[in-house]
């Protein structure tokens, strides 16, 4: 408590500066939509999203300080607060809601309406914000010296580097420009393939390869070499061990288990290693991923219980402060809002959830909001097992719904709606925690930040439905362009419980792989995601991880820190740039214009020529990353 009382923020509590202004609201909404759409595209491709707080803060500092000539750090902070909400809401939505489109493609149910997606996203996002408000005093303030909230502190450091705002913003914009160009060449003009792959001979039916996309490589740089290597190892296990073993030894059992009527050898002959992955081994990956999520929750159970108890106590003290830096939204308003939102989950016709489902939402929602806030305070938002929380919710919710008679298409819709809301609650609660930590360090007004979070959630919820519809119309989920790994896994879990047709043998193989990984000390979630995803995607992530490993070896501490930060900013720009062009290409695909741009038939290159082109493109991506991102400031400082 003494540390808390002695802490002095950058802007003193008795000093009032612009925060929630027209400028911050408009800029924040634009960034929420852009980063939300870009992260939705990225998450549907690789199964991971990245924090948008730092790039949003850098862009805000660049525009407000350099272009508008205003010196208002708290105004810039509100921009990133609103803007980062889009990324978190997108993460929660894309991990679950595409399952509704997948069921529609199988004629199990009608496709979800835009209203359904928007309302689910809106209610989940708002519940995440309001659940977090009473936690602020308990976790952000009283445990200031205990919980570091790494992204929140990093964002505050970036914003405190005031005079460097313009230079840092230019790094983000350069990353956006390069990624946009590369993405247009690869997927627009299709001059080079987006993936280079090699399958072994019949004696060894495995496969290796890599994608060449800037955003995927950027994910590896941001995650770092450790996480990237675990993901890559998981991919190698699947594509170079499990798939060859299934082709060599798989027989009638696997054919009967999946009811496809084909042996593994026949599937391999028709679709290669990718066909075996799609039909068989991704179920092993799903089992590993589900087990990894549950293991991570079990390991943190004592921490979860302590946090939950502290959160309950927080209701009695939240918003009690009289200083500007202690004021939250009034707790009566928070409680009324939670009650209204819970009733809306039950009563709004667009959401197929009963009273039992609404009760599950409010209990699990507040529980996992506390879990998410505490966990991101320790490990950061990037390592927050949101999908693991969603899986745990889905398992329990689907069983309860089945026991109460909600089965079939209606029961599956209700389960995914509950899982979606909980997933979004956990994601938004984690993001709000980081933002409030940034504000606590800078001296922001918590109430204004909380209002900013609400604005960001509303803007993002209105945009996420259009984004999902656009991407589904252009390529379809569970396609090579958009694998939607988490949503596909959620779909399989619900179907397995409701219909009893899940290949439990393959799922259990994945479960025990996850247990083995945990026993030997491997971070099970990262490894399990690698097992689930294609090895080509994992390899591209590994390339980014290797670049980060090289940068981390720079001996001079100041140069190393500068290079790492520049790389993260450039990576964030690359992710945003590729995501924006990906959405534009989706629009062109819907309009039928994409075929006019396609030059691949004119080139008519042999396979080896296409692969060489892909490798050359990957080399260009790496060079641009190194020389225009990482080394830019180092050259300037020498």
Does residue 49 fall inside a structural domain?
yes
Domain region containing 380: 2-170+301-490
Q: What is the pLDDT of residue 636?
A: 44
Burial 95-133 (b: 16+ CB within 10 A, else e): bbbbbbbbbeeeeeeeebeeebbbbbbbbbbbbbbbbbb
Domain for residue 547, yes or no? no
- State yes or no: pLDDT of 90 exceeds 90: no
- Residues 145-160 have a mean pLDDT of 73
What is the phi/psi pair of residue 410, to 5°? -65, -40
Average pLDDT value for residue range 240-251:
86
Q: Which residue has the higher pLDDT, 118 or 598?
A: 118
Average of per-residue pLDDT across 182-205: 86
Q: What is the band of 318 on the pLDDT scale with cuts at 50, 70, 90?
A: very low
402 in a structural domain: yes
Report how far residue 491's alpha carbon sits from residue 502's, in angstroms, rounded to the nearest whole number.
11
517 falls within a domain:
no
Distance from C-alpha of 629 to C-alpha of 217, rounded to nearest angstrom: 13
* Residue 538 within any structural domain of the chain: no
Tell me how far apart the terminal alpha carbons of the chain are, to the nearest angstrom. Answer: 45
Answer whether residue 147 shows pLDDT above 80. Answer: no
Q: Which residues pair with 210 in a beta bridge?
A: 196
For residues 302 and 375, the answer to whether their CB atoms sit within 8 Å is: no
Handedness of CA 100, 105, 109, 110 (dihedral sign): positive
CB atoms within 10 A of CB 447: 18
For the chain, how big is the Rg over CA atoms in Å? Answer: 24
The per-residue pLDDT for 259 is 43
User: Has residue 328 been placed in a domain?
Assistant: yes
- What is the number of other CB atoms lying within 10 angstroms of the CB of residue 86? 33
Q: What distance in Å separates the CA atoms of residue 157 and residue 558, rounded to the nearest whole number?
A: 15
pLDDT of amino acid 163:
43
Could you tell me where the DSSP H helices lie in 238-354? 243-249, 252-258, 264-276, 282-299, 301-317, 331-347
What pLDDT digit, counting tens, does each position of 444-496 carry? 999 999 999 999 999 999 989 888 988 888 888 877 778 787 788 788 788 88
| pLDDT(317) > 70 | no
* Residue 637 confidence (pLDDT) above 50: no
Long-range contacts of 335-341 (CB under 8 A, 24+ apart): 337/126, 337/130, 338/127, 338/130, 338/131, 338/362, 341/123, 341/126, 341/127, 341/130
Angle at 373 between CA 370 and CA 377, to 5 degrees: 140
Phi first, then psi, for residue 106 (nearest 5°) are -95, 10
Among 183-187, 290-294, 432-436, 489-493, the minimum mean pLDDT is found in: 290-294
Per-residue confidence at 187, pLDDT binned at 50, 70, 90? confident
Number of other residues whose CB lies within 10 A of the CB of residue 479: 13
Q: Rounded to whole angstroms, how far apart are CA atoms 114 and 118?
A: 6
- Any idea which of 19-23, 149-153, 624-628 has the lowest mean pLDDT? 149-153
Distance between CA atoms of residues 302 and 564, nearest Å: 35
Instruction: Kindly report which listed range (163-177, 202-216, 326-340) carries the lowest average pLDDT score.
Output: 163-177
Q: What pLDDT does 156 receive?
A: 78
How many angstroms separate the Cα of 573 from the Cα of each of 56, 173, 189? 10, 6, 22
pLDDT tens string 6-18: 778 888 888 888 8
| pLDDT of 28 over the 50 cut | yes
Q: Which of 148-157, 260-269, 495-504, 527-536 has the highest mean pLDDT?
A: 527-536
CA distance 368 to 6: 31
Element of type H or E holding 131: helix 114-135
Q: Per-residue pLDDT for 635 more than 50? A: no
Confidence of residue 49 (pLDDT cuts 50, 70, 90): low
pLDDT band at 335 (very low <50, low <70, confident <90, very high): confident
Q: 27-31, 298-302, 378-382, 437-441 — which is least confidently predicted? A: 378-382
Q: Which of 140, 153, 10 is nearest to 74 (CA)?
A: 10
pLDDT, residue 381, reads 61
pLDDT digits (tens, 9 = 90+) for 362-419: 888 887 787 777 767 765 565 565 766 677 778 778 888 888 888 888 889 989 999 8
- pLDDT interval class at 519 (50, 70, 90): very high
Whether residue 244 contacts residue 205, with contact meaning beta carbons closer than 8 Å, is answered with yes
pTM (global) more than 0.85? no
- Whether 63 shows a pLDDT value over 50: the answer reads yes
- Residue 226 falls inside a structural domain: no
Cα 183 from chain centroid?
Answer: 20
104 against 308, higher pLDDT: 104
| Confidence at residue 439, expressed as pLDDT on a 0 to 100 scale | 92
Closest CA to 175 of 518, 558, 570, 635: 570
Per mean pLDDT, which of 28-37, 59-68, 312-321, 600-609 is the most reliable? 28-37
pLDDT above 90: percentage of residues in the chain = 21
Q: Do the domain assignments include residue 626?
A: no
Tally the domains of the chain.
1
Q: What is the pLDDT of residue 127?
A: 95
Q: pLDDT of 590-613, one tens digit each?
A: 677 777 887 877 777 777 788 888
Whether the pLDDT of residue 111 is over 80: the answer is yes
Cβ neighbours of residue 342 closer than 8 Å, sequence gap 6 or more: 127, 358, 361, 362
Determine the Cα–Cα distance for residues 98 and 364; give it in Å rounded to an integer: 22
pLDDT of residue 277: 84
How far is the C-alpha of 388 from the C-alpha of 296, rounded, in Å?
A: 8
d(Cα 226, Cα 236) in Å, to the nearest integer? Answer: 15
SS3 266: helix
Band (pLDDT 50/70/90 cuts) for residue 160 is confident
Contact 634, 559 (CB under 8 A): yes
Element (H, E) at 198: strand 195-199
CA distance 100 to 89: 17
Arithmetic mean of pLDDT, 96-107? 89
User: From CA 154, how far away is CA 569, in angstroms rounded?
Assistant: 12
Q: pLDDT-derived band of residue 523, with 50, 70 and 90 as boundaries?
A: confident
Is the pLDDT at 297 greater than 50? The verdict is yes
């Amino acid at each position: 408590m003494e540390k808390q009382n002695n802490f002095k923020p950058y802007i003193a509590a008795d000093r009032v500066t612009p925060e929630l202004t027209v400028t911050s609201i408009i800029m924040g909404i634009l960034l929420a939509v852009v980063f939300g759409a870009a992260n939705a595209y990225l998450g549907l491709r690789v199964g991971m999203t990245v924090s948008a707080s730092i790039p949003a803060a850098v862009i805000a500092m660049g525009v407000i300080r350099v272009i508008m000539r205003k010196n208002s750090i708290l105004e810039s902070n509100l921009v990133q607060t609103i803007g980062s909400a889009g990324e978190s809401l997108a993460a929660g939505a894309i991990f679950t809601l595409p399952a509704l489109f997948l069921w529609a493609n199988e004629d199990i149910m009608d496709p979800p309406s835009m209203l359904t997606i928007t309302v689910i996203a809106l209610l989940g996002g708002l519940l995440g914000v309001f659940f977090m408000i009473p936690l602020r005093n308990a976790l952000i303030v009283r445990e200031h010296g205990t919980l570091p909230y790494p992204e929140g502190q990093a964002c505050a450091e970036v914003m405190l580097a005031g005079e460097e705002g313009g230079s840092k913003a230019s790094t983000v914009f350069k990353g956006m420009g390069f990624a946009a160009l590369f993405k247009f060449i690869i997927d627009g003009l299709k001059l080079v393939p987006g993936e280079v792959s090699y399958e072994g001979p019949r004696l060894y039916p495995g496969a290796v390869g890599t994608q060449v996309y800037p955003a995927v490589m950027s994910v590896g740089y941001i995650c770092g070499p450790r996480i990237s290597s675990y993901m890559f190892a998981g991919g190698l296990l699947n594509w170079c061990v499990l798939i060859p073993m299934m082709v060599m030894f798989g027989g009638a059992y696997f054919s009967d288990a999946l009811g496809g009527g084909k042996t593994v050898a026949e599937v391999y002959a028709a679709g290669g290693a990718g066909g075996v992955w799609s039909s068989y081994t991704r179920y092993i990956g799903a089992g590993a991923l589900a087990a990894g999520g549950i293991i991570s929750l079990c390991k943190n159970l004592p921490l979860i219980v302590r946090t939950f108890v502290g959160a309950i106590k927080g209701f009695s003290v939240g918003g009690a402060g009289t200083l500007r830096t202690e004021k939250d939204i009034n707790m009566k308003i928070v409680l009324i809002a939670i009650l209204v939102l819970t009733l809306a989950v039950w009563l709004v016709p667009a959401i197929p959830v009963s009273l039992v489902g609404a009760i599950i939402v409010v209990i699990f929602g507040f529980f996992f909001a506390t879990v998410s806030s505490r966990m991101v305070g320790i490990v950061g938002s990037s390592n927050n097992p949101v999908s693991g929380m969603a899986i745990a919710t889905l398992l329990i919710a689907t069983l309860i719904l089945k026991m109460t008679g909600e089965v079939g298409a209606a029961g599956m819709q209700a389960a995914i709606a509950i899982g979606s809301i909980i997933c979004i609650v956990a994601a938004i609660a984690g993001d709000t925690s980081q933002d409030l930590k940034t504000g606590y360090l800078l001296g922001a007004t918590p109430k204004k930040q909380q209002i900013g979070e609400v604005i960001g959630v509303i803007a993002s919820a209105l945009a996420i439905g259009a984004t999902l519809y656009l991407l589904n119309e252009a390529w379809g989920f569970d396609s090579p362009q958009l694998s939607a790994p988490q949503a596909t896994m959620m779909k399989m879990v619900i179907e397995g419980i409701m219909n009893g047709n899940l290949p439990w043998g393959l799922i259990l193989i994945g479960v025990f792989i996850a247990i083995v990984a945990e026993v030997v000390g491997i971070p099970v979630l990262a490894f399990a995601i690698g097992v689930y995803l294609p090895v080509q995607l994992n390899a591209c992530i590994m390339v980014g991880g290797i670049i980060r490993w090289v940068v981390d070896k720079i001996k001079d501490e100041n140069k190393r820190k500068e290079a790492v930060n520049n790389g993260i900013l450039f990576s964030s720009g690359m992710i945003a740039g590729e995501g924006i062009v990906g959405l534009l290409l989706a629009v062109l695909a819907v309009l039928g214009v994409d075929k006019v741009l396609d030059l691949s038939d004119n080139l008519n290159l042999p396979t080896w020529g296409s692969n060489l082109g892909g490798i050359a493109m990957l080399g260009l991506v790496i060079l641009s990353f190194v020389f225009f991102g990482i080394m830019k400031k180092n050259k300037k400082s020498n």
